[in-house]
Amino acid sequence: MSLLERTLQDIYPQDSSARDLAKERLDHLAVPHWALGDLMDLAIDIAGMTRTITPSLKNKAIVIMAGDHGVVAEGISKFPSEVTPQMVYNIVNGGAGINALADQVNAKVVVVDMGVNADLNELAKTGKIINKKVGLGTNNIAVGPAMSKAMAVRAVESGIDIANDLAATTDIFGTGDMGIGNTTPSAAIAAVCTKKPVEELTGRGTGLDDSQLLHKIEVIKKALEVNSINPSDGLDILAKVGGFEIGGIAGLILGAAAHRKPIIIDGFISTAGALIANAIEPFVKDYLIFAHRSVEPGHKAMQEHLKCKKPLLDLNFRLGEGTGAAVAMNLVECAVAVLTKVSTFEEAAVAVADK
If DSSP states are collapsed to H, E and C, what string results for the chain?
Answer: CCHHHHHHHCCCCCCHHHHHHHHHHHHCECCCCCCCHHHHHHHHHHHHHHCCCCCCCCCEEEEEEEECCHHHHHCCCCCCCCHHHHHHHHHHCCCCHHHHHHHHCCEEEEEEEEECCCCCHHHHHCCCCEECCCCCCCCCCCCCCCCCHHHHHHHHHHHHHHHHHHHCCCCEEEEEEECCCCHHHHHHHHHHHHCCCHHHHCCCCCCCCHHHHHHHHHHHHHHHHHCCCCCCCHHHHHHHHCCHHHHHHHHHHHHHHHCCCCEEECCHHHHHHHHHHHHHCHHHHHHEEECECCCCCCHHHHHHHCCCCCCCECCCCCCCCCHHHHHHHHHHHHHHHHHHHCCEHHHHCCCCCCC
Q: How many CB atoms lie within 10 A of CB 196?
A: 19
Query: What CA–CA distance (Å, rounded) separates 22 from 29?
Result: 11
CATH number for the domain running over 3-55+344-348: 1.10.1610.10
- Going by C-beta distance under 8 Å and a sequence separation of 6 or more, which residues neighbour residue 240? 141, 145, 146, 227, 228, 229
Active site residue 245: no
Question: How much is the pLDDT for 349?
Answer: 82
Q: Please, what is the average pLDDT of the chain?
A: 97
Query: What CA–CA distance (Å, rounded) separates 316 from 296?
Result: 9
**Which of these CATH numbers, 3.40.50.10210, 3.40.50.410, 1.10.10.60, 3.40.50.150, describes 60-338?**
3.40.50.10210
Query: What CA–CA distance (Å, rounded) separates 118 from 199?
Result: 32
Question: How much is the pLDDT for 203?
Answer: 94
pLDDT at 54 over 70: yes
Which amino acid makes up residue 1? M
Question: How much is the pLDDT for 94?
Answer: 98
Query: What CA–CA distance (Å, rounded) separates 263 from 261?
Result: 6
Model confidence at 306, pLDDT cuts 50, 70, 90, reads very high
- Using CA atoms in the order 174, 108, 165, 189, what is the torsion angle rounded to 10 degrees? 30
The region of weakest confidence among 54-63, 111-120, 171-180, 199-208 is 199-208
**What mean pLDDT do residues 136-154 have?**
99
**What mean pLDDT do residues 103-111 have?**
98
Domain range summary for the chain, segments of one domain joined by +: 3-55+344-348, 60-338
Model confidence at 302, pLDDT cuts 50, 70, 90, reads very high
Active-site position among 200, 321, 333, 347: 321
pLDDT at 241 over 70: yes
pTM: 0.97
pLDDT tens readout for residues 246-293: 999 999 999 999 999 999 999 999 999 999 999 999 999 999 999 999
Model confidence at 309, pLDDT cuts 50, 70, 90, reads confident
Query: What CA–CA distance (Å, rounded) separates 63 from 177?
Result: 8
Model confidence at 90, pLDDT cuts 50, 70, 90, reads very high
Query: What CA–CA distance (Å, rounded) separates 174 from 172?
Result: 7
Question: How much is the pLDDT for 355?
Answer: 60
Contact 242, 139 (CB under 8 A): no
pLDDT tens readout for residues 210-239: 999 999 999 999 999 999 999 999 999 999
**Cα separation values, 256 from 27, 111, 272, 277, Å:** 29, 17, 16, 11
Q: What is the Cα gyration radius of the chain? A: 20
pLDDT at 46 over 90: yes
Query: What CA–CA distance (Å, rounded) separates 154 from 180?
Result: 21
Question: How much is the pLDDT for 206?
Answer: 83
pLDDT at 354 over 70: no
Query: What CA–CA distance (Å, rounded) separates 167 from 61?
Result: 10
pLDDT at 353 over 90: no
